[in-house]
């Protein structure tokens, strides 16, 4: 396969290189694309040095099978035609096309077959918070249809990019020297703080990040009546998002049923031995592939409810890994 990575210098772009190597993706050639700022840089892939090419309206994607794109929604919109013109499948990590009716929104553990229904050659990768949640919702939904979800998130700095991680480290360094913290990437100081504000606010008082969890979950799960109310919060963690989730199902489920369903579900690793202080945490999840699930219990405020806790590295499963898994599914299940 011939692949391209667009936005190669970003946090997710760099993770694409790692994930393509880790998954032993069948690669014949690999090309990297970036903005004026990053073009000319070189990155090594499996021992080979690869130079970042400039992405512009003249860029030639002929011969490319899969283009993994993570350079923001405006770049995706501007260059989708350039990228897909010669038949490359564009797997787009931005929010640009996610809700378009003719662009599938795919999480391989949930709706892999949707990837083949992409008339524009574009497949959208969902938002990181949504990916990790739907992976854990799917096995529950198989037991009994989910009617609604309440979710509070604990989102890592890296969700705002590589420079946001640097800002958090710099803030801690400054504060420990008695200096004041420099704030640029986030709305407020993140060190020793939590910020209930990710992406911009919409008219109904929810942020766009929260509404993504609402709309994208419906689309991925083919469940227009499944309602999600989210509160998305940035926390001073480097990598891996955590989510406190309550689901209401059509029939009451037992904790044992749900635990068994999680134990055999693809992409999920169960860590649920609280007596041994074993439960998912971002510190342990960073740099790994699974969606970790634990703290499974009855919702004591709802007879049809189950509550649990999920943690996943949002740059791997929440972005690069999910996109690569979509491509692998298409390669391994040709239509």
| Residue 241 appears among annotated catalytic residues | yes
Q: Does 188 bind its own copies (CB under 8 A)?
A: yes
- Binding mask 277-316 vs its own copies (x if CB under 8 A, - otherwise)? x-xxxxx----------xxxxxxxxx--x-x-x-------
Q: First-to-last CA distance in the chain? A: 16
d(CA 220, CA 111): 6
Q: Which residue from 233, 260, 266, 304 is in contact with its own copies, where contact means CB under 8 A?
A: 233
d(CA 111, CA 109): 6
| Residue 39 appears among annotated catalytic residues | no
Tell the smallest beta-carbon distance from residue 135 to its own copies (Å): 18
d(CA 113, CA 104): 10
Per the residue annotation, which of 150, 214, 232, 241 is the catalytic one? 241
Alpha-carbon separation of residue 13 from 69, 185, 295, 330 (angstroms): 8, 19, 33, 21
Q: Does 236 bind its own copies (CB under 8 A)?
A: yes
Q: Does 246 bind its own copies (CB under 8 A)?
A: yes
Q: Does 244 bind its own copies (CB under 8 A)?
A: yes
d(CA 158, CA 77): 23
Tell the smallest beta-carbon distance from residue 294 to its own copies (Å): 8
Cβ burial, residue 184 (10 Å; 0-12/13-18/19+): exposed
Tell the residue number behind the tokens 């209930």, with chain if given: 196
Q: Does 116 bind its own copies (CB under 8 A)?
A: no
Q: Which residue from 86, 201, 250, 263 is in contact with its own copies, where contact means CB under 8 A?
A: 201
Q: Which residue from 40, 63, 87, 274 is in contact with its own copies, where contact means CB under 8 A?
A: 274
Per the residue annotation, which of 39, 128, 197, 232 is the catalytic one? 128
11-22 vs 162-176: helix crossing angle, rounded to 10 = 110
Tell the residue number behind the tokens 């794109």, with chain if given: 69
d(CA 160, CA 214): 20
Q: Does 109 bind its own copies (CB under 8 A)?
A: no
DSSP state of 34: E
Q: Does 219 bind its own copies (CB under 8 A)?
A: no
Tell the residue number behind the tokens 């227009």, with chain if given: 224
Tell the smallest beta-carbon distance from residue 282 to its own copies (Å): 6
Tell the smallest beta-carbon distance from residue 165 to its own copies (Å): 10
Tell the smallest beta-carbon distance from residue 244 to its own copies (Å): 4
Q: Does 27 bind its own copies (CB under 8 A)?
A: no
Tell the residue number behind the tokens 């001073």, with chain if given: 236
Tell the smallest beta-carbon distance from residue 278 to its own copies (Å): 10
321-332 vs 11-22: helix crossing angle, rounded to 10 = 40
Region near its own copies per CB under 8 A, out of 31-39, 68-76, 104-112, 194-202: 194-202
Strand partners, 25: none
Question: What secondary structure does DSSP assign to 217-236, as a single string?
Answer: HHHHTT-TT-EEEEE--B-S
Q: Does 262 bind its own copies (CB under 8 A)?
A: no
- Binding mask 144-183 vs its own copies (x if CB under 8 A, - otherwise)? ----xxx-x-x--------------x--xx-xx-------
Tell the residue number behind the tokens 């690069």, with chain if given: 320
Q: In what order do the strands lie in the sheet with 305-312?
A: 227-231, 146-154, 241-249, 305-312, 291-298, 268-270
Question: Which residues are known catalytic residues?
Answer: 128, 241
Question: For binding to its own copies (CB under 8 A), which residues are involved?
Answer: 148-150, 152, 154, 169, 172-173, 175-176, 187-189, 192-197, 201, 204-207, 214, 227-229, 231, 233, 235-238, 242, 244, 246, 255, 274-275, 277, 279-283, 294-302, 305, 307, 309
């Amino acid at each position: 396969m011939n692949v391209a990575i667009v936005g190669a210098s970003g946090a997710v772009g760099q993770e694409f290189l790692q994930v393509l190597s880790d998954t032993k993706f069948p690669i014949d050639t690999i090309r990297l694309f970036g903005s004026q700022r990053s073009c000319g840089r070189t990155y090594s892939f499996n021992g080979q040095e690869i130079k970042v090419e400039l992405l512009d309206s003249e860029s030639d994607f002929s011969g490319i099978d899969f283009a993994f794109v993570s350079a923001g929604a405006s770049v995706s919109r501007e260059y989708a035609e350039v990228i897909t013109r010669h038949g490359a499948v564009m797997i787009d990590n931005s929010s640009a096309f996610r809700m378009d009716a003719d662009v599938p929104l795919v999480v391989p553990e949930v709706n892999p077959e949707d990837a083949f229904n992409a008339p524009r050659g574009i497949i959208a990768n969902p938002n990181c918070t949504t990916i990790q949640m739907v992976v854990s919702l799917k096995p529950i939904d198989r037991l009994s249809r989910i009617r609604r979800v309440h979710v509070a998130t604990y989102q890592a700095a890296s969700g705002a990019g590589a420079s946001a991680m640097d800002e958090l480290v710099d803030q801690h360094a400054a504060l420990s020297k008695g200096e004041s913290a420099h704030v640029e990437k986030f709305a407020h100081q993140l060190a020793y703080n939590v910020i209930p504000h990710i992406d911009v606010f919409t008219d109904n008082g929810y942020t766009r990040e929260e509404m993504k969890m609402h709309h994208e979950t419906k689309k991925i799960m083919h469940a227009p009546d499944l309602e999600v109310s989210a509160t998305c919060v940035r926390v001073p963690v480097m990598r891996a998002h955590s989510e406190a989730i309550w689901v209401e199902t059509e029939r009451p489920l037992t904790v044992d049923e749900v635990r068994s369903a999680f134990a055999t579900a693809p992409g999920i690793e169960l860590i649920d031995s609280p007596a041994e202080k074993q439960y998912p945490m971002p510190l342990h999840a960073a740099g790994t592939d699974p969606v970790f699930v634990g703290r499974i219990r009855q919702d004591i405020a709802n007879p049809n409810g189950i509550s649990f806790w999920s943690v996943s590295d949002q740059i791997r499963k929440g972005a690069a890994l999910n996109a690569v898994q979509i491509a692998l599914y298409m390669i391994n299940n040709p239509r």
